[in-house]
Structure 1
Amino acid sequence: MKKLSILIPTYNEEKTILLVLEKIKNVELDGLEKEVIIIDDYSEDNTEKVIKEYQSKNQNFSIIYFKQDKNKGKGAALHKGIKQATGDFLIIQDADLEYNPNEYNILLEPILEGVADVVYGTRFMGNKPHRVLFFWHSIGNKFLTFLSNIVTNLNLTDMETCYKAFKIEIIKSVLLKEKRFGFEPEVTAKIARIPNIKIYEVGISYYGRTYQEGKKINWKDGFRALYCIFKYGFLKMK
């Protein structure tokens, strides 16, 4: 049986991580077993305790847990998770509840059908539920996607989405450097340069959070994304 590696970078998500794990546990995949890899980015709340208690109560559910030796950022957590993944396919899952694990099969369908190597789950396409939140965030996301598309010659609608699915050999072949939220424009620029790569988009739901509810990305990350688009897209730096 083939395997799906699910990477969960987490930082101070004691309130939501159990709900995410329960959703993942209950997802029925089409002929795939699940490998869940949690990379705790040195959480300062009870995230570690909550996860370990869940592990002890659900020993038949494969969860691999790592804790960084200091807070390094989402990108750094993903670098570690990608190295540890042993599946045939890989999906990135945030530890909050903004994205719904019940949609894994939607993301995986183009890959399993043999037409895609990478699939982006777009929040701006289709008729899935989408929480109404920040106007300027949506403008920023679309602007960054637009600039990314200019330098990659892709026609993505949501470069900044968390939900990305990869054939494992594709993502493991990419040298990644960005340690924070620059992961998104960097990985997009670098996979776009892979010869004959097949990239698809599918519509997904989005249950966004406010900052009071724990949202972490901020305006500084937007400027870093601009820098990464220029560095890895326009300059094509490795």
Structure 2
Amino acid sequence: MNPELSVVMPCLNEAETLEICIKKAHDFFEKHQVAGEVVIADNGSTDGSQEIAKRLNARVVPVAEKGYGNALKGGIKAAKGTYIIMGDADDSYDFSKLELFLEKLREGYDLVMGNRFKGGVKKGAMPFLHKYLGNPVLSFIGRLFFNIKIGDFHCGLRGFSKEAFYKMEVNTTGMEFASEMIVKSKLNGLTITEVPTILHPDGRSRPPHLNTWRDGWRHLRFLLLYSPRWLFLYPAFLLIIVGTIVSALLIVKPLQFNGIIFDVHTLLYTASAVIIGFQFLMFYGLTKIFAVENGLLPKSNRYTKLFKFFTLEKGLIVGFLTFALGIYLSISGFLDWKATSFSDLKPAETLRIIVPAVFTIMLGLQIILFSFFFSILGLKQHIKEDS
């Protein structure tokens, strides 16, 4: 019979601490009468870690592809348990105290996260930057972007069912695997909870594999790329709304604050903000389509409605009307110039017409081109609906 629980540990030259971690896991199985196994996902160790694991009746799964995520995926896929608890083999987590994780998994939760800030961080267990900057900031961003109510996004000790893991469809290969697992659980509607866990000092004499700035950036980059709303959509709305309002006010007359006059030179920047905002909006749409169609993000009802609401015909109408407005303003400016027998014009008054004319022509053309491209990308969606 398959075991109920598999404890999976990624391993790359962990000979110093691997034995104590395996023994603690076996102690947990024995103490709580759990049918379990220990799986060592070896990522190419050269210090004899494999022999240590085999001697202690742990199952060694060689994983050729380098990377924290690759090692864990290899070990998890090879695990035979209904439930899986993963954790680092550096003795920073106590594998003899997994009862809270298993209890929540038995209750039916798909992902059970450890929370080191609730359980306690022993002195010297977490670098200052990780404790007070990296983990709190990245966890806050994760909660904000994805509305996930957990306090420690990067705890390495976590449990999940084997069935839930396949629903997550995790793709990353490095340290950002930890963030992707949580985000994909949320996006795919899986249930998440957390339990307190204690973080102990690393038992190894060598430095950890984690690189503070490189891996921190990889986590942040992942969170941004998997939340196109925060990366593109919200900045787009901000630029378009603020740019449009301020531009409209400057077209009427100059604005003055504390003796500083904002005139047509400022209008150039605010009009540019509208164009840039629309480009952000285009990138949001294109990124969303690419991510969904390539399986990086799950398909939602909102995504399906987007193709029904935004059609090529609607886009072309809006684009041509915007373009026509720009042509109209250009002609109006030309006629004003003609009325002076093509003599010198007052730059401020002229630019109040010409700047909106130029930028509405640019915006109209962008809307038209984007509508065609969006419609091409939507052909796959329409084919699926017709079939």
Q: State the TM-score, normalizing by the size of structure 1.
A: 0.87
Q: Does 1:134 align with 2:127?
A: yes
Match of 2:272 in 1: none
- Aligned pairs for 1:42-191 (under 5 A) are 42-52=44-54, 54-55=55-56, 61=57, 63-69=58-64, 72-114=66-108, 116-126=109-119, 128=120, 130-132=122-124, 133-138=126-131, 139-191=133-185
- Measured in 2, the distance between the counterparts of 1:140 and 1:193 equals 23
Shift of the 210–102 alpha-carbon distance from structure 1 to 2, 3 Å rule, reads: closer
Letter in 2 for 1:69: A
Instruction: Show structure 2 runs of 5+ residues with no match.
Output: 229-286, 297-387
Shift of the 141–33 alpha-carbon distance from structure 1 to 2, 3 Å rule, reads: same
**What does the per-residue CA deviation read over 1:17-49, in whole Å, with 9 as the maximum and x for residues that have no partner?**
011111111114645311211111111322223
SS in 1 for 2:168: coil
- Measured in 1, the distance between the counterparts of 2:144 and 2:201 equals 27
**What does the per-residue CA deviation read over 1:55-112, in whole Å, with 9 as the maximum and x for residues that have no partner?**
4xxxxx4x22122335x11100111112112211111021111000122101121222
Match of 2:15 in 1: 14
- Measured in 2, the distance between the counterparts of 1:210 and 1:135 equals 18
Letter in 2 for 1:23: K
- Measured in 2, the distance between the counterparts of 1:29 and 1:75 equals 31
- Measured in 1, the distance between the counterparts of 2:147 and 2:23 equals 39
Higher relative contact order (CA 8 A, sep 6+): 1
Q: Does 1:215 align with 2:208?
A: yes
TM-superposed deviation, 1:117: 2.1
- Measured in 2, the distance between the counterparts of 1:173 and 1:86 equals 17
TM-superposed deviation, 1:225: 0.6
Letter in 2 for 1:94: D
Task: Percent identity, please.
Answer: 29
Shift of the 14–212 alpha-carbon distance from structure 1 to 2, 3 Å rule, reads: closer
SS in 2 for 1:19: helix
RMSD: 2.2
SS in 2 for 1:144: helix
Q: Runs of at least 4 residues of structure 1 off by over 3 A? A: 28-31, 210-214, 233-237
Match of 2:37 in 1: 35
Structure number with higher strand proportion = 1
Q: Does 1:201 align with 2:203?
A: no
**What does the per-residue CA deviation read over 1:145-191, in whole Å, with 9 as the maximum and x for residues that have no partner?**
11111121012110100111112210122222211101011111100
Q: State the TM-score, normalizing by the size of structure 2.
A: 0.55
TM-superposed deviation, 1:233: 3.9
Structure ID, larger Rg: 2
C-alpha contact 2:91 2:203 (8 A) present in aligned 1: no
